[in-house]
Amino acid sequence: MCTKNGCHFVSDRLHNMTINVEELRNDTLGCNNVLHFNNAGSSLMPRPVANALKSFLESEEKIGGYETAAAYAEQLERVYSSGARLLNCSASEIAFLENATRAWQMAFYSIPFSKGDRILTSVAEYGSNVIAYRQLANRTGVEIVHVPNDSTGQLDCNALEDLIDDRVKLIAVSHIPTGGGLVNPVAAIGRITNKAGIPYLLDACQSAGHMPLDVETIGCDFLSLTGRKYLRGPRATGLLYVRQSRLNFMEPVFLDQHAADLVSPTEYVLREDAKKFENWEQHFAGKYGLSVAIDYALDIGLENIRDRIYKLATKLRAELAGSPRITVTDEGAEQCGIVTFISDNQSAAAIKSLMSDQGINVSVSDGSGTLVSFQQRELTAVVRASVHYFNTESEIDRFIKVLNS
């Protein structure tokens, strides 16, 4: 247990136990101030994570940035072992990045493509990822194919298998899309990609901390995640997983003296681990805070977390379905803690404003986030209410009461 400058990891009282909501809410200062249903945007940090940030920044203030990094070297290095425990991989396969988008980009833009190559992706793919696909298509002439959904709204694995041929050089999928409650069948996708020998990039931005993630079970070659969402970590933190067998053949699109060594005026040597995807300058306080956040989630148990979140989300969907003038817009055979809906008499922005006036945090997902899916479904904007394990049934009741007032 780390106790330096008041920071601590979550108590052993939580380990391997069912979730004690009252104790976890007591560990979450924000629960005293707001009803927070915006965990898919940025969750409330628990006390140990906030203490980690504060202690690191106070040390930087008192003794300097380089000196603090040296003093906290062991805690900073822990993010790799904690990330490896989170994903069931080796610490050498983990890189720390400034956010999930940059982590995803570092993997994506480091994959070589040529004219005529194809990228297969999901209909509900995140907008930033689609922009990257389109940019690459404009530059190189690659073809982007959105794999159709099945009748439930998730990626159709049969359609995916039918689309695979020698031209496909990457399969890239968002595990949980930003604008709806569906959970794509990532392990089934992994079995298809592994059989075909095609690289598989998984955007786990919304699923990390939300549910168990095992890269061996999933079968992905690359995985990107953020700290600020369901892991309840600091903003401007993210991780990239790169499978060892892919590491040996990849050169990151950006390099510095952390990623490689300059051994002569004309020669550099790359690192052999995933840290070659990092920059030397990092958000060190956030790096420490992220390691604490990961350990906090692992001590509670990802299965416990998933089960609690799913239970709350199921109740919220049922209450919304029974509300007048409300339509739930979630898809998928499996649905998660992100609950989306529209009203036939209020805009999503108006509902968000109404909730904000009552101390309730939600967000709005518009077409930019999941444009392809939203256009197919004739949606422009939805209210996104995303629950976490520290939320309560009584908060859902209050939310519905405000919505129907």
148-182 pLDDT, tens digit per residue, is 999 999 999 999 999 999 999 999 999 999 988 99
- Give the residues across from 143 on adjacent strands: 118
- Mean pLDDT per 10-residue interval, the chain, length 405 residues: 38 57 97 97 98 98 98 97 98 97 97 96 95 97 97 97 98 95 97 97 98 98 98 98 94 95 96 96 97 98 98 98 95 97 96 98 88 91 97 98 94
User: What length is written for the chain?
Assistant: 405
- Predicted local distance difference test score (pLDDT) of residue 17: 55
Take residue 135 and report the two structure tokens written for it. 């940019």
- Predicted local distance difference test score (pLDDT) of residue 369: 80
How far is the C-alpha of 375 from the C-alpha of 132, rounded, in Å? 19
**DSSP labels, 240-273:** EEE-HHHHTT---SS--TTTEEEEETTEEEE-SS
How far is the C-alpha of 350 from the C-alpha of 88, rounded, in Å? 43
Take residue 365 and report the two structure tokens written for it. 């997902």
- Predicted local distance difference test score (pLDDT) of residue 45: 98
Sketch out the chain's domains with CATH numbers.
73-299 (3.40.640.10), 302-403 (3.90.1150.10)
Q: Which amino acid is at 327?
A: T
Listed residue (197, 204, 212) closest to 238, CA to CA: 204
- Predicted local distance difference test score (pLDDT) of residue 3: 35
2-57 pLDDT, tens digit per residue, is 433 334 334 433 444 579 999 999 999 999 999 999 999 999 999 999 999 999 99
CB 72 within 8 A of CB 56: yes
